Amino acid sequence: MASVDSLNECPVSKKIKLDTKDVNLVKSIHDDLSSLSGFNVKGILTNNTNRKTVCLRGTFDSKEGEAVVILEKTAFAEEDLKANKDYFTEQNNLQKIFQNDIYGDYKYFPSKQLSVIKTTVIHPATEKHIVKFSAQKCYMVDETPEIYKEIVLPHLAGEQLHLQWVYNILEHKSEVERIHFEDADPINGFIMVPDLKWNGEIDSLYLLAIINRRDIKSIRDLTDEHLPLLKNIKEKGAEAIKAKYSLDISRLRIYLHYQPSFYHLHVHFCYLQHEAPGILTEKAHLLSNIISNIELVPDYYQKITIPFVVRENEKLFAKLKTKGVLENC
C-alpha cells in the first residue's frame, strides 16, 4: 500500500456522475448563467499546477446551495499556431521580463479569442461533490477477487452512483447533437460522444463509447461472452474517428478505467499524443490487452488481482481500512 499526492495523481476534470436526486433542481443555474461575477469563492479544493486546473468551492448570489467551479487552461491547437494565424498579430502583446545574451523571457498576452479557459459549473453541489474535488491523499489497493466480492461489490450495491445522465444519452433524451457515432444493436452496440474534458480540438481528442446494454458495470464483469461487443467497439469506434478526424487506430489510445468513474461499461478513445487524465498504469487498461486476456482465459477478470487507487475521504477507503486491507493509513 502506497500513498500518492492527490493533486498530481487524482484527476479533477471529470464528468459529474454523482447522485443529485435529493437536490431540488426546479430552476437550474445554467438556464441564464452568462458570467461568474456572482460567484463567491469560499475556498480552493484543489490546484493542479501540472494540469493547469483549479477547483473552487463557493456560492452564487441569490442562489441556494453550494457550487463547485472548475477552471482549466486549454491546450494549444496546432491549427492556431500556423503562419498568419491569430497568435502572430498586433492584437497580442509581449512584455519583456529580462534578456540575457540571445535569451529573452517575456509575458505574452494573447487576444481574447485565444485566452479561453474551459469552465465547469456544478450547482447545487452536494457534499459528495465537495469531497470528490477536494485535495486528499490517495492509496493503492491490490484488489483480489475475494476483496472485490466481499468488500467492493457490496459497497457498489449500497453506493450506486446516479446513471440517469447515461440513460438520457442512450435514450436520445440528452446530448443528441453531440453523438459522433451510434450502433443501435442492443447487445453489441454503443453510442460515442465527446468526454466533458475534450475542448473540441483534435490535439486533445477524447471520446467515450457507452454500451447500449445495462448489465455490465466494469471490466470485472467481462468474459468471453462479451468479446463480440469489445471487438465491435474497437473496430467501429476507430473507423468513426478515422472517417471524421483522419486519425488511424495506430494514433489512438483505446482503454477502460478500473475503477471507473461511473459503473456502466464505457471505453475511452484518446489521441495518442494527448496526455489525458487517467492514463497511468494504476487506472487505464488497454482494450486490445483486455480482448487478448479474455481470449486466453475466458474468465480472466474474475480471477486476477486488479490494482486501483482509493482516496482517503471516500467511504470505500474506510471500509477497506476496517477490513484490514489498508493498514497503517
C-alpha separations of 234 from 91, 190, 286, 290 in Å: 44, 11, 11, 11
Query: Given pLDDT bands bounded at 50, 70 and 90, which one contains residue 253?
Result: very high
Annotated binding site for substrate: 165, 175, 195, 197, 257-268
Each residue's pLDDT tens digit, 215-240: 999 999 999 999 999 999 999 999 99
- Classify strands 284-286 and 138-143 as parallel, antiparallel or unpaired: unpaired
- Catalytic residue of the set 123, 129, 266, 274: 266
Place of cell 446530448: 175
Query: Given pLDDT bands bounded at 50, 70 and 90, which one contains residue 209?
Result: very high
Each residue's pLDDT tens digit, 76-124: 777 777 766 778 888 888 999 988 888 899 899 888 778 888 899 999 9
Of 259, 236, 248, 253, the closest CA to residue 287 belongs to 253
What mean pLDDT comes out for the span 299-325?
93
More confidently predicted of 20 and 162: 162
pLDDT at 15 over 60: no
129 included as an active-site residue: no
208-243 burial: b if 16+ Cβ within 10 Å, else e: bbbbbbeebbbbbebeeebbebbebbbebbbebbee
More confidently predicted of 159 and 145: 145
pLDDT at 11 over 50: no
Domains belonging to the chain, first-starting first, are 3-74 (no CATH), 78-112 (no CATH), 138-322 (3.30.428.10)
Task: Supply the DSSP symbol for 98.
Answer: E
Q: Are 145 and 301 in contact (CB under 8 A)?
A: no
**Neighbouring C-beta atoms of residue 117, cutoff 10 Å:** 12
The whole-number pLDDT of residue 199 equals 78
pLDDT at 251 over 90: yes
Annotated binding site: 165, 175, 195, 197, 257-268
